[in-house]
């Protein structure tokens, strides 16, 4: 299976932050919550079946009906519901083998161990159908931390090797799940504790898992399962095969309309992350994957550096050179506005094919990022509409108070995309639709209700726009600049002090 490269050295590390996922400390050792006030609809049931159970401090198994709800609530009942437990990342499950001592053939029984506290667990299984037991295991694994990899997945090839994790292409081994489906396994090794503190590593993994469990969006990669073994934590993710935005730019297959649609989709994904109370903190080309072309659809990935929104102080002094919001150099708190700046850098690159802060010297790059003196060079921006240029300038505003908000930017991008598609012929009609509706694509636009003057000014800006420009915004000169600088920027580590 998966082995670390330096097992001996890793084994010498005695850090209380490993393993990452642990059972809760037992304030009391009761496994089931006996307070039954749960009401649910039939369509909430994921799976229901009669299973044998050996409970805590029990010797003989007993059959009950088990129910698993979409919310992650596991219950058991006979004539009525007898107990329930909320499955989460503090509950560990493992496929194990039991032996019935009364069975003369001493045949092993495949069962599932569900552990809530240290030395507090139960076993459940279907005595007549091993496949059914494995099916229960996979359903439970969507909510808990699993402790099995072999027998469920096989590694096909390496996708990426990063500074903090590695990503592999894998496929399921269970026939019911396989159907030639490919998945991605993102692996954090215990060896990482030699580079960073245990707390940092724990924050990386738990924040990423927590966000991906909470966030539900078409523009965020889906987390299917979390597996923790002796020396690795594995995130089983949907496999996105379209490559990164870096790859797309290098192929010179992008124009202003596509750039705007990508930017809008990233915003929709970020708004869902913010709704969950987190900021991504690492929006850049290599963290946006292409899920499909024609029409374009993206997926935001790599939440290892995400953290909870904090409006009081900057807790984590990390960032990617060239993408850092200027206020962070003054230790301002990391809020949603910082995400706008990083996205503005990305939008800038998509539109003109180059980076706004250019230097192969790290110190110079950081200083230019900090000073944030951005000028739109005529040779790079001559084929870009003035409305797109204004959006980029407002996204890259050095003063976070004056920086455009997510609500404003969403409206402007919606209108800009409509105008690009129609070449400006129906801009007033699009405007009427926007001003009459407070909810487009599931987004509530507070700006319409709270800031009509800002909306009016934004609309005014669009009426003198030059929508009819050439959409093929990347010329050969810009593409060469991008190829020369892209490798340097994307390989920089998180070293902001």
In order along its 497 residues, the chain shows pLDDT tens digits of: 333 232 222 333 345 778 999 987 776 678 898 887 767 888 899 999 999 999 776 678 899 999 999 999 999 998 888 999 999 999 999 999 887 766 666 678 899 999 999 888 999 999 889 889 999 999 999 999 999 999 999 999 999 988 889 999 999 988 666 566 889 999 999 998 888 888 888 988 999 999 999 999 999 999 999 999 999 999 999 999 889 999 988 886 688 999 999 999 999 999 999 999 999 989 999 999 999 988 899 999 999 888 888 766 656 666 788 998 998 888 888 888 999 999 999 999 999 988 999 888 889 999 999 999 988 877 889 889 999 999 999 999 999 999 999 999 999 999 999 999 886 433 333 444 444 443 433 333 343 344 445 544 554 554 445 444 433 444 444 444 444 444 444 444 433 33
CA 277/CA 334 separation, integer angstroms: 12
Taking every pair of C-alpha atoms in the chain, what is the biggest distance, in angstroms?
Answer: 87
Complete domains list, the chain, with CATH:
42-89+92-143 (2.30.29.30), 156-238 (3.30.200.20), 245-490 (1.10.510.10)
SS (H, E, C) 194-236: HCCCHHHHHHHHHHHHHHHHHCCCCCECCEEEEEECCCEEEEE
pLDDT of residue 435: 43
pLDDT of residue 215: 93
CA 472/CA 294 separation, integer angstroms: 16
Provide the 3-class DSSP secondary structure of residue 47: strand
CA 332/CA 325 separation, integer angstroms: 10
How far from the centroid of its chain's Cα atoms is residue 100's Cα? 43
pLDDT of residue 330: 85
pTM for the complete prediction?
0.81
CA 131/CA 110 separation, integer angstroms: 9
pLDDT of residue 106: 67
Query: 113, 424, 440: which is closest to 268 by C-alpha?
Result: 440
Contacts of 489 (CB under 8 A, 6+ apart): 284, 320, 321, 322, 355
pLDDT of residue 475: 46
Buried b (16+ CB within 10 A) or exposed e, 419-444: bbeeebeebeebbeebeeeeeeeebe
Contacts of 485 (CB under 8 A, 6+ apart): 354, 355, 358, 360
CA 363/CA 322 separation, integer angstroms: 11
CA 224/CA 182 separation, integer angstroms: 12
What values do phi and psi take at 28, rounded to 5?
-150, 155
Residue keyed to tokens 């229901």:
48
């Amino acid at each position: 299976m998966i082995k670390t490269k330096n097992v001996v050295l890793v084994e010498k590390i005695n850090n209380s932050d490993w393993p990452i996922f642990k059972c809760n400390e037992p304030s009391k050792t009761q496994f089931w919550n006996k307070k039954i006030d749960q009401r649910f609809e039939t369509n909430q049931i994921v799976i229901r079946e009669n299973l044998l159970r050996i409970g805590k401090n029990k010797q003989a198994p007993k059959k009950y009906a088990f129910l698993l709800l979409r919310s992650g609530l596991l219950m058991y009942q006979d004539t009525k519901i007898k107990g329930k437990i909320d499955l989460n990342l503090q509950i560990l499950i493992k496929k194990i083998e039991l032996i019935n001592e009364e069975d003369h053939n001493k045949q092993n029984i495949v069962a599932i161990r569900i552990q809530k506290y240290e030395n507090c667990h139960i076993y459940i299984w279907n005595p007549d159908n091993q496949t059914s037991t494995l099916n229960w295991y996979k359903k439970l694994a969507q909510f808990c931390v699993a402790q099995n990899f072999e027998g469920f997945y096989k590694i096909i090839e390496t996708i990426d090797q990063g500074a903090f994790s590695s990503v592999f292409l894998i496929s399921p081994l269970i026939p019911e799940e396989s159907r030639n489906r490919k998945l991605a396994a993102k692996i954090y090794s215990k060896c990482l504790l030699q580079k960073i503190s245990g707390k940092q590593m724990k924050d990386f993994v738990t924040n990423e898992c927590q966000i991906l469990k909470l966030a539900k969006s078409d523009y965020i990669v889906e987390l299917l399962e979390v597996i923790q073994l002796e020396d690795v934590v594995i995130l089983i993710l949907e496999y996105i095969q379209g490559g990164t935005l870096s790859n797309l730019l290098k192929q010179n297959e992008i124009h202003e309309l596509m750039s705007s649609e990508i930017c809008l989709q990233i915003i929709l994904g970020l708004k869902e992350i913010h709704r969950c109370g987190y900021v991504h903190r690492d929006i850049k080309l290599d963290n946006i994957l292409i899920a499909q072309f024609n029409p374009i659809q993206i997926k935001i990935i790599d939440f290892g550096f995400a953290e909870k929104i904090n409006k009081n102080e900057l807790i984590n002094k990390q960032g990617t050179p060239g993408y850092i919001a200027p206020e962070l150099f003054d230790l301002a708190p990391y809020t949603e506005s910082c995400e706008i700046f990083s996205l503005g850098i990305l939008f800038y690159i998509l539109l003109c094919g180059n980076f706004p802060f250019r230097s192969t010297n790290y110190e110079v790059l950081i200083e230019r990022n900090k000073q944030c003196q951005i000028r739109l060079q005529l040779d790079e921006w001559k084929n870009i509409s003035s409305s797109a240029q204004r959006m980029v300038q407002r996204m890259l505003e050095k003063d976070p108070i004056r920086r455009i908000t997510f609500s404003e930017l969403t409206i402007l991008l919606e209108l800009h995309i409509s105008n690009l598609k129609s070449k400006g012929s129906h801009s007033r009609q699009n405007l009427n639709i926007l001003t009459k509706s407070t909810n487009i694509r599931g987004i509530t636009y507070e700006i319409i209700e709270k800031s009509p003057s800002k909306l009016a000014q934004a609309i005014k800006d669009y009426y003198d726009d030059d929508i009819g420009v050439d959409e093929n915004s990347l010329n050969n000169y810009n593409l060469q600049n991008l190829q020369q600088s892209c490798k340097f920027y994307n390989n920089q580590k998180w070293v902001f002090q």
